[in-house]
Amino acid sequence: MTRQSEKLEGLLKDVLDSGKRKSDSLVGEQLTEAGLLDRAVLNEQLETILGGASANPSLAQVMEQHLEAFQDYVRQTNVAGAAKEVCALLALEPNDLRRAALLSLMVRLVGKRKFDPIASYILDNRAARSAGRR
């Protein structure tokens, strides 16, 4: 088994364990928590995504690289870089529910407080691009 799939399987274990530690918020604020929406549906989707990726070494490597880059950018407080990685990860998954699950995973990896500026940056840029096209 490759190093990347072991990391994704570790994430999967953390996600499954998080269902045991419930949070009152809608989305868990840390990897160790599951929010109200996370408990069943999103955790199930994360299990499918991470399980499928760990079975596919090339996809696992791509996901691992984006997740590591995302976390590195967050540690460096580089909002634009982190936003780029969020978009790259979401582009890997065409299903909206699975995209929501990936967003939940990223929020739990870095914490809601650190993720909020990234989400705002993405939304602001999307709105600016839409306004520029009119």
CA 83 to chain centre: 11
- d(C-alpha 50, C-alpha 93), whole Å: 12
pTM, to two decimals: 0.72
pLDDT interval class at 128 (50, 70, 90)? confident
- d(C-alpha 118, C-alpha 122), whole Å: 6
Residue type, 36: L
Of 48-62, 71-85, 104-118, which one has max mean pLDDT? 71-85
Sign of the Cα torsion 43, 49, 55, 57 reads negative
CB atoms within 10 A of CB 118: 24
* CA neighbor of 70 nearest in space, from 129, 1, 14, 11: 11
Three-class SS of residue 129?
A: helix
